[in-house]
């Protein structure tokens, strides 16, 4: 386990970094920034050019108020970019559009899906829990 806190569980199996959001929401913009900064510091030690990233946001409690988005913005690109492939699994089409918007704002092209079977296929694994 690379990271285990109230908001994320992150595991590296050597081929895929599995990052899963919990259902615990963020209370403050500072908490958003601190949690993501800690995760990025851990991820920065990994060879991104040799791994895929899977980010499961299905359980996340969404926040799109400007203060929370601003707190996340400086960490988002460092979290998501540089991997062989980044696949993000979200709960809804609205979530998909929001994550795609962020990816475009950051200059990246994460693959955002709502179907776990599609995420599994893209990652080359049998199934996503």
113 and 71 Cβ atoms separated by less than 8 Å: no
Tens-digit pLDDT profile for residues 23-74: 999 999 999 999 999 999 999 999 999 999 999 999 998 777 899 989 999 9
Question: Which positions ≥6 away from 52 have C-beta within 8 Å?
Answer: 15, 16, 17, 83, 84, 85, 86, 87, 123
Tens-digit pLDDT profile for residues 2-33: 999 999 999 999 999 999 999 999 999 999 99
Does the structure show a pLDDT above 70 at 107? Answer: no
With both helix axes pointing from N to C terminus, report the angle between 29-43 and 66-80 in degrees, rounded to the nearest 10. Answer: 0
69 and 39 Cβ atoms separated by less than 8 Å: no
């Amino acid at each position: 386990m690379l990271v285990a806190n109230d908001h994320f569980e992150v595991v590296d199996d050597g081929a895929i970094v599995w990052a899963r959001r919990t259902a615990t929401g963020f209370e403050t913009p500072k908490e958003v920034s601190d949690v993501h900064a800690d995760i990025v510091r851990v991820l920065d030690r990994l060879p991104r050019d040799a791994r895929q990233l899977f980010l499961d946001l299905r359980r996340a409690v969404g926040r799109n108020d400007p203060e929370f988005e601003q707190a996340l913005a400086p960490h988002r690109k460092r979290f998501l970019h540089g991997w062989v492939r980044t696949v993000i699994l979200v709960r809804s089409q609205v979530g998909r559009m929001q994550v795609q918007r962020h990816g475009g704002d950051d200059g990246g092209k994460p693959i955002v899906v709502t179907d776990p079977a599609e995420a599994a296929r893209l990652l080359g694994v049998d199934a996503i829990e």
